[in-house]
């Protein structure tokens, strides 16, 4: 359990109230929370829990085997024997086929080995992103929990409209943190489009 998990547990009543007010009462017209709701398409509590479900350790645990498999592909490519003393058309055809397999295994940027390494690099980057967005959301959650708006939502009777304004203010902070974080994740995925094309051996 990290800081986000702890804060999320402590702030659960506040988040429930924020979601309840936004879904039943709404927010003031023109408030920035509307734009953030359109970006995330989740209520603040649901968005916070979605981020809390991200587990970088699950990705990091899979990377050593992926990198080992990449090394195995490279080793297989190096181990494919050449024609040696064998000569003639059959030997030439074999060697051409061998070289094609070598390239597919480890010889060019589109090879299995390179793709496995690139996938592992992407996994490292995504795990780092998960740690960052979890830390950023923990900071935001700690900040909003200490605000006057939090007191309005978890306290007693308040003037009409106060709860809607308070929920909107807290929601905007949390949703903007989540949305900005997910924009960065989209940039990481967009930068890996070469991994999305099929490879044939």
Q: What is the pLDDT of residues 28-63, one digit of tens each?
A: 999 999 999 999 999 999 999 999 999 999 999 999
Among the ranges given (19-23, 67-71, 156-160), the one the predictor scored with the smallest mean pLDDT: 156-160
Mean pLDDT score, 93-97: 89
201 pLDDT above the threshold of 50: no
pLDDT value for 98 = 84
Mean pLDDT score, 100-127: 87
Q: Which long-range contacts (CB under 8 A, 24 or more apart) does 32-41 make?
A: 32/168, 32/172, 32/176, 33/168, 33/169, 33/171, 33/172, 33/175, 36/171, 36/172, 36/175, 36/176, 36/179, 37/171, 37/175, 39/175, 39/179, 40/175, 40/178, 40/179, 40/182
pLDDT value for 161 = 87
Mean pLDDT score, 11-36: 96
Among the ranges given (42-46, 77-81, 125-129), the one the predictor scored with the smallest mean pLDDT: 77-81
pLDDT value for 139 = 98
pLDDT bucket at 107, cuts 50 / 70 / 90: confident
Average pLDDT in the chain: 90
Read off the pLDDT of residues 135-191 as tens digits, 9 standing for 90 and up.
Answer: 999 999 999 999 999 999 988 767 878 999 999 999 999 999 999 999 999 988 887
Its pTM stands at: 0.82
Instruction: Report the percentage of the chain scoring pLDDT > 70.
Output: 95
Helix 162-190 crosses helix 12-24 at what angle (to 10 degrees)? Answer: 100
4 pLDDT above the threshold of 70: yes
């Amino acid at each position: 359990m990290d800081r986000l998990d702890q804060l999320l547990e402590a702030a659960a009543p506040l988040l429930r109230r924020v979601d309840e007010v936004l879904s039943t009462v709404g927010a003031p017209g023109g408030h920035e929370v509307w734009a953030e709701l359109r970006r995330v398409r989740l209520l603040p509590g649901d968005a916070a829990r979605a981020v809390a479900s991200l587990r970088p350790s699950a990705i990091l645990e899979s990377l050593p085997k992926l990198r080992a498999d990449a090394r195995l592909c490279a080793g297989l490519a190096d181990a494919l024997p050449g024609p040696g003393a064998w000569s003639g058309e059959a030997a030439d055809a074999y060697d051409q086929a061998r070289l094609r397999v070598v390239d597919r295994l480890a010889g060019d940027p589109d090879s299995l080995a390179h793709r496995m390494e690139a996938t592992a690099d992407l996994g490292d980057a995504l795990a780092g992103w998960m740690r960052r967005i979890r830390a950023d959301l923990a900071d935001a959650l700690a900040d909003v929990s200490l605000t006057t708006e939090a007191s309005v939502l978890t306290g007693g009777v308040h003037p009409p409209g106060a709860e809607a304004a308070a929920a909107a203010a807290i929601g905007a902070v949390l949703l903007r943190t989540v949305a900005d974080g997910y924009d960065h994740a989209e940039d990481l995925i967009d930068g890996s489009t070469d991994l999305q094309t099929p490879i044939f051996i």
